[in-house]
Chain A
Amino acid sequence: MPRIAAFVSQRLIKAVFVVLAIAVFNFFLVHAAPGDPAQVMAGEAGAADAQFVEQLRQQFGLDRPMIEQLGTYMGKVVQGDLGFSYRQQRPVFDLLMDRLPVTLSLTLTAFVLALIGGVALGTLAAMRAGTWSDTAITVVGLTAYATPIFWIGLMLILLFSVNLGWLPAFGTETIGAGYTGWEAFLDRVKHLVLPVTTLALFYMAVYTRLTRASILEVRDMDFVKTARAKGLPEWRIVSVHVLRNAILPVITVAGFQAGHLIGGSILIETVFALPGIGRLAFEAVLQRDYQVLLGIFLLTSVVVVIFNLLTDLIYSLVDPRIEVAP
């Protein structure tokens, strides 16, 4: 245990420097794009004069030297202040906290469903390789993976919302319904069904293919043959001997994807009109809302660093041959 504690603490210290370096890099990255928020707002207004653009530049602090802007930004970051969005007239932290629940309820639910479903289907396909069920899972998985996600979303809306009228198509709640308590919860769940299904289908296809391929590699190894020779039941062979050894690539990909959950899914949030972080990021790019973009990038980088660390720890738990070393 002390070894793991030392590993974790050292990785966390390194992570602080990594995140700060990323923040500096992000700062220059967002400023490298052509145009600035003052120009965008002047363009949107449909009329502008030099005074208007200059006023906005002063308000956004864009009239100051780049290095001074960086110093101001980093000074705030180390104090935990993500800045202020002049476009949205709100602190960036508040904006992120407003959007985070929507994104997490979408991405986490889709992620968990996809992981469980993908591993189960991948295992089934691998254990029945060459049969009709393997073919069916493979065909459906490849189709879900290859089809553009926004198209699947729109088709689900047309089928379940427009034609059948079973599920709502947009937003996170029935606006103006005034639901409370259990009714409000159910209403929100109903609104999540289509976007979560759309997103989960894509991820599930990835995990299914990965699990299937990995199990096919492991299932004929000597230790599996030994287990069979010992007369162990098939379910135990699969769950304890095969799956545990085949799961590492899935954990690697899942850890990588979990780090990006916070960024949301721009396409899903756009098609289903969900006010999540993904859409906030996309709009911030278009509007050159530097502070919001930097805030989202910083939050994402922190989460990616944390999930990388967690992935390493899970490796050692699943496979004792892998040791963590400071």
Chain B
Amino acid sequence: MSNRLRCFRQSLTAAALAAMLAIPGAAMAQERGGTMNIIVQPEPPILVLGINQQGPTQTVAGKIYQGLLTFDFNLKPQPELAESWEVSPDGKVYTFRLVKNAKWHDGKPFTAHDVVFSTSKFLMETHPRARATFSKCEKIEALDDHTVQFTLKEPFGPFLQAFEVSSAPMMPKHIYEGTDFKTAPANATPIGTGPFKFKEWVKGSYIHLVRNDEYWKAGKPYLDDIYFRVIPDAASRSVAVEQGTVQQTQFNDIETFDVPRLKALPNVEMTTKGYEFFAPLSWIEINTRTKPLDDKRFRQAMMHALDRKFIRDKIWFGLGRPATGPVNSVTRFYEGNVRKYDYDPKKAEALLDEMGLKKGADGNRAKVRLLVMPYGETWTRLGEYVKQAMKRVGVDVTLETTDAAGWVNRVSNWDYDLTFNFVYQYGDPALGVSRTYVSDNIRKGVMFSNTMGYANPEVDRLFAQAAQTNKDEERQQLYSAAQKILVEDVPVAWLLEMEFPTFIDKRFKNAVTTAIGVNESYDSVYMVKK
């Protein structure tokens, strides 16, 4: 045997041995066990996801409840409680085949009747987003115990997106039917189909979930427990990560100025993936009813006066991308070919001059109020930057502050000139974009409506038409046209496509695997034991 051949055979043997050792090793890596401590902030008011859909509620209750579908990073639907689905050629009939072995945490089987109850009764009463979607249904029926069919009055392009867990969590019919959903005693002990069961909630301190031993995916979940820890102070949350008291933070838990420090920790990794479904977009909301904000040249001047790269780099410490328009670039039907507003104070001044706004003796052309959003230090810093940037082009901005309740009250009742806001897009313009701009959503007293008072019949028509077709090419054309008009009109001054940092202890794997990231069920998360 030649040396070369012997060498080759030895290599093969070594590789085979390594493979034999590695395979059990890989299996070992996903063996059961481990406890994960995750920050939850602010503390959710209730854990029943059908009743409350605040961000923290979604993160905790997403482990208890499930939807029919989830979404990959490219927003393509993936099976969850529905193992397959079909859409009729006319886009009006959606048929879902459900997994057959799913059970509620109390042992009762999960069936198509639960889906019908959830979508036609429970969520219609309690969930504004679900109500908007499922009110488009003519009929929701269980064809058998494991098949459910939705018949729409007319096609609705983003219908599948409505089956993500926070958009349509499945609720147990046998527990809630005939009760007052919002005050039912069962709300204290949430029952879902998810991989973790509710164990205990010490208000103000922690929420304890334990492994669901009867979970319908064999061998899962891997973790024994998840504790959601309530730590209200932002500085203390950063310390908790450094100290290893918690193994995960998400969304706004960490102030942006602490991100570089935590990113450098050796035992923690940071990712900005897992927010694609929400695709938060921030902007300066503009009350277009007041002068001089009613003139689109003033709003265009604002776009030129603000350096969004500076905002991203110095205020958000590199998190996010400067926004180009009303649709986040990770959301479906984004159009990048729109008018560009580069940072150019001279262009801003020219537009203001064109409006006839001349500088006075004090150097000011106009005065506006900016109501700073009361959700953390970063927004306060942004307010200070906007004041300085607008001063450079002769606009005197007065900063106003209030608490969260005051902010909602003033913005929803149109008592502001400018304010900050950010809104989730839920994967499709028909779900999370059009609501901000269409004129039939100008509703006093209702937050996250068209509080700016912007009205453009052509935009209304394009959004309505795009939602009522399920042909993607047609929808793209309509949404592209709408985006071009909106970017010209500037009903809000778009700032950033926001990115949230998720910090995860490196021992925990598979935490972020889909477009809903930390709100996933965590049935695949496992801990690497040393």
Interface residues of chain A, those whose CB is within 8 Å of chain B, are 33-37, 39-53, 55, 59, 87-89, 95, 98-99, 150, 154, 157-158, 161-162, 169-172, 175-176, 270-276, 279-280, 283, 285-288
Interface residue? B348 (CB, 8 A): no
| Chain A residues within 8 Å of B423, by CB | 46
A89 touches B131 (CB 8 A): no
Provided the pairs A42-B447, A169-B239 are in contact, do residues A52 and B205 lie with their beta carbons within 8 angstroms?
A: no
Which stretch, B229-237, B320-328, B470-478, touches the partner chain A?
B229-237
A161 touches B45 (CB 8 A): no
From A43, A59, A157, residue with most partner B Cβ within 10 Å: A43
- In angstroms, how far is the closest chain A Cβ from the Cβ of B144? 33
Among residues of B, the one whose C-beta sits closest to the C-beta of A43 is B408
Q: When chains A and B are docked, how far (Å) is the Cα of A250 from the Cα of B410?
A: 46
| Chain A residues within 8 Å of B86, by CB | none
Residue from A150, A176, A275 in contact with B227 in the complex, judged by beta carbons closer than 8 Å? A176
A59 touches B182 (CB 8 A): yes
Provided the pairs A48-B128, A53-B446 are in contact, do residues A169 and B243 lie with their beta carbons within 8 angstroms?
A: yes
Among residues of B, the one whose C-beta sits closest to the C-beta of A161 is B243
Q: When chains A and B are docked, how far (Å) is the Cα of A303 from the Cα of B407?
A: 33
A98 touches B128 (CB 8 A): no
Q: When chains A and B are docked, how far (Å) is the Cα of A154 from the Cα of B183?
A: 40
- In angstroms, how far is the closest chain B Cβ from the Cβ of A17? 32
Extra A-B contacts (19), CB below 8 Å, given A34-B405, A161-B243, A273-B232:
A33-B406, A35-B403, A36-B409, A39-B445, A43-B407, A46-B448, A48-B448, A87-B45, A88-B203, A158-B239, A162-B242, A169-B243, A175-B208, A176-B35, A275-B202, A275-B205, A275-B230, A279-B204, A286-B405
What is the 8 Å Cβ interface bit string for chain B, positions 403-429, against chain A (1 contact, 0 not)?
111111110100000000001100000
| Chain B residues within 8 Å of A286, by CB | 403-405
- In angstroms, how far is the closest chain A Cβ from the Cβ of B267? 13
B205 touches A39 (CB 8 A): no
Residue from A41, A50, A59, A272 in contact with B446 in the complex, judged by beta carbons closer than 8 Å? A50
Q: When chains A and B are docked, how far (Å) is the Cα of A169 from the Cα of B246?
A: 12
| Chain B residues within 8 Å of A280, by CB | 204
B408 touches A35 (CB 8 A): yes
Interface residue? B398 (CB, 8 A): no
- Number of A-B contacts defined by CB within 8 Å: 164
Q: When chains A and B are docked, how far (Å) is the Cα of A88 from the Cα of B52?
A: 12
Q: When chains A and B are docked, how far (Å) is the Cα of A275 from the Cα of B187?
A: 22
| Chain B residues within 8 Å of A171, by CB | 205-206, 229
| Chain B residues within 8 Å of A36, by CB | 405, 409
| Chain B residues within 8 Å of A41, by CB | 45, 52
Provided the pairs A51-B128, A162-B243, A273-B232 are in contact, do residues A98 and B53 lie with their beta carbons within 8 angstroms?
A: no
| Chain B residues within 8 Å of A46, by CB | 53-55, 423-424, 448
| Chain A residues within 8 Å of B161, by CB | none
- In angstroms, how far is the closest chain A Cβ from the Cβ of B411? 8
Q: When chains A and B are docked, how far (Å) is the Cα of A87 from the Cα of B508?
A: 33
Q: Which parts of B455-473 form the interface with A (CB within 8 Å)?
A: none
What is the 8 Å Cβ interface bit string for chain B, positions 192-228, against chain A (1 contact, 0 not)?
0000000000111110100000000000000001010
| Chain B residues within 8 Å of A47, by CB | 53, 128-129, 435, 448
Residue from A42, A89, A169, A288 in contact with B236 in the complex, judged by beta carbons closer than 8 Å? A169
A43 touches B404 (CB 8 A): yes
Q: When chains A and B are docked, how far (Å) is the Cα of A171 from the Cα of B206?
A: 9
| Chain B residues within 8 Å of A270, by CB | 232-233, 236
Interface residue? B292 (CB, 8 A): no
Interface residue? B355 (CB, 8 A): no
| Chain B residues within 8 Å of A150, by CB | 233
Provided the pairs A45-B52, A154-B236, A170-B240 are in contact, do residues A40 and B204 lie with their beta carbons within 8 angstroms?
A: no
| Chain A residues within 8 Å of B406, by CB | 33-35
| Chain B residues within 8 Å of A275, by CB | 202-205, 230
From B129, B187, B245, B423, residue with most partner A Cβ within 10 Å: B245
Residue from A39, A158, A175 in contact with B409 in the complex, judged by beta carbons closer than 8 Å? A39
| Chain B residues within 8 Å of A44, by CB | 54, 404
Q: When chains A and B are docked, how far (Å) is the Cα of A271 from the Cα of B45?
A: 21
Among residues of B, the one whose C-beta sits closest to the C-beta of A56 is B182
| Chain A residues within 8 Å of B229, by CB | 170-171, 175, 273
- In angstroms, how far is the closest chain A Cβ from the Cβ of B438? 13
Among residues of B, the one whose C-beta sits closest to the C-beta of A35 is B405
- In angstroms, how far is the closest chain B Cβ from the Cβ of A287? 7
A154 touches B405 (CB 8 A): no
Interface residue? B132 (CB, 8 A): yes
From B37, B239, B408, B435, residue with most partner A Cβ within 10 Å: B408
| Chain A residues within 8 Å of B227, by CB | 175-176
Among residues of B, the one whose C-beta sits closest to the C-beta of A54 is B445
| Chain B residues within 8 Å of A98, by CB | 203-204
Q: When chains A and B are docked, how far (Å) is the Cα of A128 from the Cα of B461?
A: 85
B128 touches A39 (CB 8 A): no
B232 touches A279 (CB 8 A): yes
- In angstroms, how far is the closest chain A Cβ from the Cβ of B318? 25
| Chain A residues within 8 Å of B173, by CB | none
- In angstroms, how far is the closest chain B Cβ from the Cβ of A230? 57
9 closest A-B pairs by CB: A275-B204, A35-B405, A35-B409, A43-B408, A34-B406, A273-B231, A52-B128, A275-B205, A49-B128
Q: When chains A and B are docked, how far (Å) is the Cα of A235 from the Cα of B386?
A: 65
Among residues of B, the one whose C-beta sits closest to the C-beta of A102 is B204
| Chain A residues within 8 Å of B528, by CB | none
Residue from B230, B405, B407 in contact with A33 in the complex, judged by beta carbons closer than 8 Å? B405
| Chain A residues within 8 Å of B125, by CB | 55
B206 touches A175 (CB 8 A): yes
B408 touches A39 (CB 8 A): yes
Interface residue? B42 (CB, 8 A): yes
Among residues of A, the one whose C-beta sits closest to the C-beta of B184 is A89
Among residues of A, the one whose C-beta sits closest to the C-beta of B55 is A46
A40 touches B239 (CB 8 A): no
A45 touches B54 (CB 8 A): yes
- In angstroms, how far is the closest chain B Cβ from the Cβ of A35? 3
Q: When chains A and B are docked, how far (Å) is the Cα of A52 from the Cα of B45?
A: 16
26 chain-A/chain-B pairs, Cβ below 8 angstroms: A35-B403, A35-B406, A35-B409, A36-B405, A36-B409, A39-B408, A42-B408, A44-B54, A46-B424, A49-B128, A49-B132, A49-B449, A52-B128, A59-B182, A89-B46, A89-B183, A154-B235, A154-B236, A158-B239, A161-B243, A162-B243, A171-B206, A175-B206, A273-B232, A273-B236, A283-B232
